[in-house]
Amino acid sequence: MDDLNIRKSGRAGRITFTRTKALNALTHDMANAIRTALVGWRDDPDVDLVIIDAEGDRAFCSGGDIAAVYRAGLAGDHQVGRDFFRDEYLMNAAIADYPKPVVAFMQGFVMGGGVGVGGHAGHRVVGDTTRIAMPESGIGLIPDVGGTWLLARAPGRIGEYLALTGARMGPGDAIHAGFADSYLPEAEWPAVIADLERTGDATRIMGITPPPAPLASRDLSAFGGRDVAQIVEALEQAGDDDALKPIRRNSPLSMAAGLALVRAARGDRRMQESLAREYHFTWRATEQADFIEGVRAQLIDKDRNPNWTADASPEQVEALLAPLGEHELHWEEQA
């Protein structure tokens, strides 16, 4: 397909994002194509590992292409979004559980759906331009694509901080927070990829000392608050305007649900549990949350002035995260 270059090269299966004009945003067809390629290579004796990278210097993958989901939801068709999120999550889980090494080279923007592709690889390489974020609360969604699993495993209260603010991490912070493994200058990536193609040996990736991680020394104790209101109160007392600014801008419902999801994910044994819980929200998002308004303000009209109206009460959060019954994700579909 035009948006991905999927091929075999040497001992490697190669998946390269080629949708550079759209910052390699992930479409439904792209998500399905990635999963199909992984299934095809699982038992292929010629493929020892999988390499996922991207063309262009601005983005590995800037997120999911949700324009179609928005248009359908606006017209009252909520199944388009449900199908997209379901298939995307099945692809995320396929990467996380893949029996062969998956290596992701993530430059530029790696956000939302991009984290769902690169963030679950077994070997995650970042460089100087890398900027990783889960900014979904700014569009009325929640950290998904297994993002709550990653956020829940970040040290201290980094997970809550990133979920509520959508802050971007450079390479040092990404490694510190557990969203990446190795730092290498991007000029070296082509030679490393060529070596991986030749040898099929992911253990040959030798990162160097990453840049500093500002999050490692930042006081995030306020994010241990019981709920968003308590967190905001603590941030106000601390005078942390850098954190307060995005929190005051983002969807109250999305932040409340995201906070609950990150904390629930700390008890999960497998990423699939976190994905299934995220799907409870995203299955309902186009119909019951701030998603339509958030996408309008940030991506369609681009006035950056969303009118959040969704109920953000604990009761509503609980309702949006309730089980889906017959609509629950079924992981056996990956067979």
Spot the catalytic one: 63, 113, 138, 147: 113
Spot the catalytic one: 64, 73, 112, 170: 64
- Between CA 176 and CA 173 the distance in angstroms is 5
Spot the catalytic one: 48, 53, 65, 144: 144
Residue 144 annotated as catalytic: yes
Spot the catalytic one: 48, 65, 88, 136: 136
Residue 138 annotated as catalytic: no
Burial of 318 (0-12, 13-18, 19+ CB in 10 A): exposed
- Between CA 8 and CA 13 the distance in angstroms is 5
Residue 273 annotated as catalytic: no
Residue 113 annotated as catalytic: yes
Active site residues: 64, 113, 136, 144
